[in-house]
Amino acid sequence: MQIECRDVSLGYDGRQITETLNFSVSEGDYLCIVGENGAGKSTLVKTLLGLTSPMGGKVIFDKSIKTKDIGYLPQQAELQRDFPATVWEIVLSGCLGSMGMRPWFSKKEKQLAEENLKKLSIFDLKNKSYRTLSGGQQQRVLLARALCAAKKVLLLDEPAAGLDPVATNEMYHLVMELNHHEGLTVVMVSHDINAAVRHAKHILHLGNGLTFYGETGDYVASDIGKAFLGIGKCRRCDNE
């Protein structure tokens, strides 16, 4: 068990937005967090990163994991798109969290950054300017940066947002490979429900008043899953 949420409830400004959540993520797991907008997905991510504390309950990390060991791919902000920075500078900055007060990079960090660039086959983009890359390439760069920080867990917030279908598929494929071959635990927020059930081992569905946590197969078979996947009965059609 790497991360365990025990009776966690989320909210902000004193207003609770989720039911109490109970779920756990074990090593090598692939958990997808799905749900409607405003259901608390992003708040949950922030809570897992330790940036906000839950209104109730506890997030328990295994002793072998610290917050800074979690690789994080945030939703892309507008601000970054015209930033003068090379791919190398950005990927290398992923190593900073584990460096403590040490101000400059050592050989070890540079090696790690290089490995991750190769792993995502963007090593040839190393000296390219970030702002001239395509959306898919930019996202790969940010994933490589996240890998520099990820010792065991990779936390992705809408990694395919704004990508075209081809780049989207590539992105999901990459994440799956990292999960399979590198044994990285993946926690992904997504509203691409079809991709979620195709790749994930577990699903956490956050809804307004409805929550589901379980294996992907069970989710697909459940009422809430069917409704969300669009394969359940539609009440309105039945009425006609």
Partner 1 sequence: MNSVLNELGYYFSFPFVQYALIVGVLIALCSALFGVILVLKRFSFLGDGLSHTAFGALAIATVLGVNNEIYVVLPITAVLAVFLLKKGQNTKVKGDAALAMMSVGALAIGYMILNIFPGSPNIAGDVCSTLFGATSILTLDKTDVLICAVFAGVVIALFMIFYNKIFAVTFDESFSEGTGINTDAYNIIIAVVTAVIIVVAMNLVGSLLISALIVFPALSAMRIYKSFLGTVICSAIVAVVSAMLGIVISILASTPVGPSIVVMNILFFVLFTITGRFIKV
Closest separation in Å from C-beta 99 to partner 1 = 8
Question: What CA–CA distance (Å, rounded) separates 44 from 33?
Answer: 9
Residue 159 binds partner 1, judged by CB under 8 A: no
* Residue among 3, 15, 2, 1 at smallest CA distance from 56: 15
75 vs 194, which CB is nearer to partner 1? 75
- Contacts for 50-57: CB closer than 8 Å, 24+ residues apart: 52/12, 54/8, 54/9, 54/10, 55/9, 55/10, 55/11, 55/16, 56/7, 56/8, 56/9, 56/20, 57/5, 57/6, 57/7, 57/8, 57/9, 57/20, 57/21
Q: Shortest Cβ distance from residue 177 to partner 1 (Å)? A: 22
Q: How far is the CB of 77 from partner 1 (least distance, A)?
A: 7
Among 9, 24, 26, 93, contact with partner 1 (rule: CB under 8 A): 93
Between 112 and 197, name the residue whose CB sits nearer to partner 1. Answer: 112
Q: Which of residues 65-84 bind partner 1 (CB under 8 A)?
A: 66-68, 70-74, 77, 79-80, 83-84
Of the CA atoms within 13 Å of residue 227, those in its CB half-sphere come to: 13
**Smallest gap from residue 61 Cβ to partner 1 (A):** 13
Under rule CB under 8 A, residue 94 binds partner 1: yes
Using the contact rule CB under 8 A, the part of the chain among 113-121, 143-151, 179-187, 191-199 near partner 1 is 143-151
Among the candidate windows 20-28, 138-146, 208-216, 220-228, which touches partner 1 by CB under 8 A? 138-146
List Cβ neighbours of 81 (8 Å cut-off, separation of 6 or more). 131
- Residue 116 — φ and ψ, nearest 5°? -70, -30
175 binding partner 1? (CB under 8 A): no
Enumerate residues 102-121 that contact partner 1 by CB under 8 A: 103-105
CB of 92 to partner 1, least distance (A): 8
Q: How far is the CB of 119 from partner 1 (least distance, A)?
A: 18
Of 11-19, 124-132, 181-189, 195-203, the segment contacting partner 1 by CB under 8 A is 124-132
The contact set with partner 1 (CB under 8 A) reads 49, 51, 66-68, 70-74, 77, 79-80, 83-86, 89-90, 92-94, 96-98, 103-105, 128-129, 131-132, 142, 145-146, 149, 155
